[in-house]
Amino acid sequence: MEFILKSTEVAAFAGTFVLAVIAGPVIIPILKKLKFGQTVRDDGPATHLKKMGIPTIGGLIFIIPMIIISLILAPKHPGIIPILLVSLGYSVVGFIDDMIKVLRKNKDGLNPKQKSFGLFLVSAVFAFYMAYNPDLGTGMILPFLGIDAVVELPVWLYIPLIIIVMYLITNSVNMTDGVDGLAAGVTLIVAVFFTIVAMARPEWENVKLFCAITAGGCLGFLVFNIYPAKVIMGDTGSLALGGVVGAAAVIMKMPWMLLVAGAIYAVESLSVFIQVVSFRLRGKRVFKMAPIHHHFELSGWKETKVVRVFWLITIVLCFIGFATLRFSFF
């Protein structure tokens, strides 16, 4: 199996990174001037109270460079545009949610039904696009059998499956965004993972390019989001990133890989589900606070330790992901 990293991917990564680093000092003062400050849960860790007022909707710092680089590359690589559009579709839902929060000056944006409808709509459009695009199809790579072990699913099964996958991954990445540098760092690692995986097949060229673009944007954003954060990505950014990793996994016919390389996302989301179900059924909480990164904070871990551990776990999980695909680099 041949893995080739072309200069285009390197340039896409570097270009998005540089533009994000440039965008930060421009966008952050604008967000401050507009008083687009973060609101904080009053039942959260006490250390998070100091985050009150930090500029939010900072996802624009990497989203705008991602758009610019994508449009530059689109004439030769038009296949990156659908991935960009699905990412932006989720980002629009997040932007509306963020705007409601900053205008109301509280933590409540769209109500759950409104937000779910928006995510469902974008997921459905993407699922139908995948199912009826003859260049993509409804195939799935079977776990542990290599990238050539593909089974074709009937459309009636494929479409609802993809809708569920995309809905869940965007929500899960959104829940991961609660500690400085966590969501951007984990997604940087996952995006690099998918960039490498996409080197295995020429038909995954567009995924490789867009994941390289995303990785560069995440790295550039981390310059301003690492502890102590100068800006927070908000749902505008986290839902966009969820759209990218979800679309990458689906286009490469391996949505199950989101449970391997992206297991941190899944655990964050699962912790919330367990907490809610346990409290409703037993009146007791399993975790001190959900998502689970807050549980570790309330258990005495510093934010920086939570982030370092979750990053390290994601790196290990990505190597496990390579093993499940039976990749050999030598």
Q: 4-22 pLDDT, tens per residue?
A: 556 789 999 999 999 999 9
- Give me 178's structure tokens: 């609660």
First to last CA, the chain: 9
Which pTM value belongs to this model? 0.93
How far is residue 284's CA from residue 286's CA, in Å, rounded to a whole number?
7
Residues with Cβ within 8 Å of 65's Cβ and at least 6 positions away in sequence, in order, are: 15, 16, 19, 20, 23, 216, 217, 220
pLDDT at 194: 97
Dist CA 66 CA 241 (whole Å):
11
Domain membership of residue 264 (yes or no) is: no
Given this model, what pLDDT does residue 40 score? 59
Q: Is residue 319 part of a domain?
A: no
In DSSP terms, 140 is beta-bridged to 151
Helix axes 155-176, 263-282, angle to 10 degrees: 90
Which pLDDT value is given to residue 329?
Answer: 52
DSSP characters for 141-206? EPTTS-TT-EEEPPHHHHHHHHHHHHHHHHHHHHHHTTSTTHHHHHHHHHHHHHHHHGGG-GGGHH
Nearest-5° Cα angle at 101, 311 to 295: 35
Does residue 272 form part of some domain?
no
Q: Is 111 within a domain?
A: yes
Q: For residue 309, is it within any domain? A: no
Residue 2 has pLDDT above 50, yes or no: no
| Three-point CA angle 308, 275, 45, nearest 5° | 50
Angle subtended at Cα 205 by Cα 14 and Cα 64, rounded to the nearest 5 degrees: 40
User: How confident is the model at residue 200, as a pLDDT?
Assistant: 87
Say which DSSP state 55 is in. Answer: B
Q: Does position 42 have pLDDT exceeding 60, yes or no?
A: no
Does pLDDT of 114 surpass 70? yes
Q: Which domain holds residue 189?
A: 7-258
**233 band by pLDDT with thresholds 50, 70 and 90:** very high
Q: Where does the pLDDT of residue 146 fall: very low under 50, low under 70, confident under 90, or very high at 90 and above?
A: confident
Note the pLDDT of residue 103: 85
pLDDT tens digits along 277-310: 999 988 889 999 999 999 999 999 999 999 999 9
> Residue 330: pLDDT band by 50, 70, 90 thresholds?
very low
DSSP reduced 3-state for 37? strand
Average pLDDT rounded to a whole number, residues 105-114: 82
Residue 109 lies in a domain: yes
What is the rounded average pLDDT for all residues in the chain? 91
pLDDT at 149: 85
Q: For residue 296, tell me if it sits in a domain.
A: no
The tally of domains found in the chain comes to: 1
Q: Which of 155, 162, 316 is nearest to 254 (CA)?
A: 162
Res 327: pLDDT: 67
- 83 belongs to a structural domain: yes
How many other CB atoms sit within 10 Å of the CB of residue 16?
A: 28
Q: How many CA atoms lie within 13 A of 31 on its CB side?
A: 26
Question: Six-digit token pair at 12?
Answer: 């896409």
Residue 325, CA distances (Å) to 51, 81, 86, 156, 314 in order: 41, 27, 26, 27, 17
pLDDT of residue 276: 93
Q: Is the pLDDT of residue 32 over 50?
A: yes
Alpha-carbon distance of 101 to 37, in angstroms, equals: 9
| 30: number of Cβ within 10 Å | 12
The DSSP bridge partners found for residue 152 are: 139
Q: Which among 323, 293, 295 has a CA at the least distance from the CA of 309?
A: 293
